[in-house]
């Protein structure tokens, strides 16, 4: 035998040298849930280790993340029922708690990167990402101006990137125009490009209390069976002016991450979602999986598939592990 692949695996020194994919904390985004009120740190049952934070405590959590090198955050608001209506009015109400928090965070930590969520569901009585008409249809074109108001309000509060997570047609172009018109040419768009109608968003909807009141999201989120459709969405978002393309969820969609990466020169993000986090944490809690190697393998493989950026609830935990291991 003259060819022995095992030669390149025989020591830590060789393995570290030939490793093809590495994950740096700069490539991780920590999603955080923000709730109105004071001194709140509410646990989310299906997401052990994740909380709904009120503003002051959120700042402390951001501080803990910064200590381990996590400085990029996707912020999601948990809105009281009383503030929800059909048109997501609260989402652009001047000085709502979400906009206030964005402003405060950017004042205290100007170097932190904040990604704002642009979709109607946190603020919508119907629990849908778009406007629901009298027949129960999620109407596309009437949703766009509402999304634009959310985006502009967040831009005014100081957001760095907006993340349209709604999957309406034409929204990237519409939001780009709306931001530019108000002078926010430097606010970027991380588009939820290939967002699937997934069973793995359950814990997130529990966190936000944002589950659809009727029907499901299949007329706007993608069919998990489809791959070419993701490339169609990717081409559109790129042409419409997106700065990043995102695939969501991540683990069951590694082929989609890879295909999108091969089609675009834009940075590709993957969202390792709440249900994926819940599965892992549940198994760890039972003692069926070991956290550290399972997290490392999960995130490294999402990276290997082609993700330049990973949004994951494990960002802080992973960064802590790296620190503890001298990485």
Catalytic site residues? Answer: 195, 248
Judged by beta carbon, residue 174 or residue 265, the one nearer ligand PBG is 174
- For ligand PBG, which stretch binds (CB under 6 A), given 35-43, 60-68, 197-205, 295-303? 197-205
Binder among 126, 129, 237, 240 for ligand PBG (CB under 6 A): 129
Residues 159-188 contacting ligand PBG, CB under 6 A: 165
Whether 172 and 191 have beta carbons less than 8 Å apart is answered as yes
201 touches ligand PBG (CB under 6 A): yes
- For ligand PBG, which stretch binds (CB under 6 A), given 32-40, 113-121, 233-241, 302-310? 113-121
CA distances from 243 to 189, 246, 308 (A): 5, 10, 13
- Helix then strand count (H, E) for the chain reads 11, 12
Binder among 58, 257, 273, 317 for ligand PBG (CB under 6 A): 273
Closest by alpha carbon to 284, among 317, 322, 307?
317
CA distance 27 to 323: 15
Judged by beta carbon, residue 107 or residue 189, the one nearer ligand PBG is 189
Q: Please enumerate in sequence order all residues whose Cβ is within 8 A of that of 168, keeping only pairs 6 or more positions apart, or say none.
A: 129, 130, 140, 143, 144, 147, 220
121 touches ligand PBG (CB under 6 A): yes
Judged by beta carbon, residue 130 or residue 306, the one nearer ligand PBG is 130
CA distances from 210 to 79, 113, 123, 167, 296 (A): 9, 25, 8, 16, 30
Instruction: Identify the DSSP state of 125.
Output: T
Judged by beta carbon, residue 128 or residue 176, the one nearer ligand PBG is 128
Name the minimum Å distance from CB 286 to ligand PBG: 21
For residue 281, the tally of other CB atoms under 10 A from its CB is 23
204 touches ligand PBG (CB under 6 A): yes
205 touches ligand PBG (CB under 6 A): yes
Helical axes 291-305 vs 274-286, angle rounded to 10°: 150
- For ligand PBG, which stretch binds (CB under 6 A), given 18-26, 116-124, 250-258, 319-327? 116-124
In this structure, what is the dihedral angle of CA atoms 245, 247, 248, 251, given to the nearest 10 degrees? -150
- For ligand PBG, which stretch binds (CB under 6 A), given 5-13, 103-111, 176-184, 199-207? 199-207
Name the minimum Å distance from CB 38 to ligand PBG: 26
Name the minimum Å distance from CB 205 to ligand PBG: 6
Omega of the bond leading into 106 within 30 degrees of 0 (cis): no
Residues that bind ligand PBG (CB under 6 A): 117, 119, 121, 129, 165, 201, 204-205, 217, 273-274
């Amino acid at each position: 035998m003259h060819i022995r692949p095992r030669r390149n695996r025989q020591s830590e020194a060789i393995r570290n040298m030939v490793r093809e994919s590495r994950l740096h904390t700069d490539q991780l985004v920590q999603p955080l849930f923000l709730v109105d009120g004071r001194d709140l740190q509410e646990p989310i049952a299906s997401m052990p280790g994740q909380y709904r934070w009120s503003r002051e405590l959120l700042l402390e959590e951001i501080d803990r993340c910064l200590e381990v090198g996590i400085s990029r955050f996707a912020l999601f608001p948990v809105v009281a029922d009383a503030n929800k209506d059909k048109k997501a009015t609260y989402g652009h109400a001047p000085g709502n708690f979400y906009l206030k928090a964005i402003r405060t965070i950017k004042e205290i930590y100007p170097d932190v990167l904040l990604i704002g969520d642009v979709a109607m569901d946190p603020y919508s009585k119907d629990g849908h990402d778009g406007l629901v008409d009298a027949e129960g249809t999620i109407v596309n074109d009437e949703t766009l101006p509402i999304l634009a108001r959310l985006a502009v309000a967040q831009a005014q509060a100081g957001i760095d990137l907006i993340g349209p997570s709604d999957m309406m047609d034409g929204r990237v172009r519409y939001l780009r125009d709306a931001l530019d018109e108000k002078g926010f040419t430097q606010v970027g768009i991380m588009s939820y490009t290939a967002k699937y109608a997934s069973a793995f968003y359950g814990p997130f909807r529990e966190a936000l209390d944002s589950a659809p009141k009727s029907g499901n999201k299949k007329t706007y989120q993608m069919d998990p069976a489809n791959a070419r459709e993701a490339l169609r969405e990717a081409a559109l978002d790129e042409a419409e002016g997106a700065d990043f393309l995102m695939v969501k969820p991540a683990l069951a969609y590694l082929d989609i991450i890879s295909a999108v990466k091969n089609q675009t020169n834009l940075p590709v993000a993957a969202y390792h979602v709440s249900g994926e986090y819940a599965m892992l944490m549940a198994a760890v809690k039972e003692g069926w999986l070991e956290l550290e190697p399972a997290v490392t393998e999960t995130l490294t493989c999402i990276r290997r598939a082609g993700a330049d950026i990973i949004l994951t609830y494990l960002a802080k935990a992973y960064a802590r592990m790296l620190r503890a291991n001298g990485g």
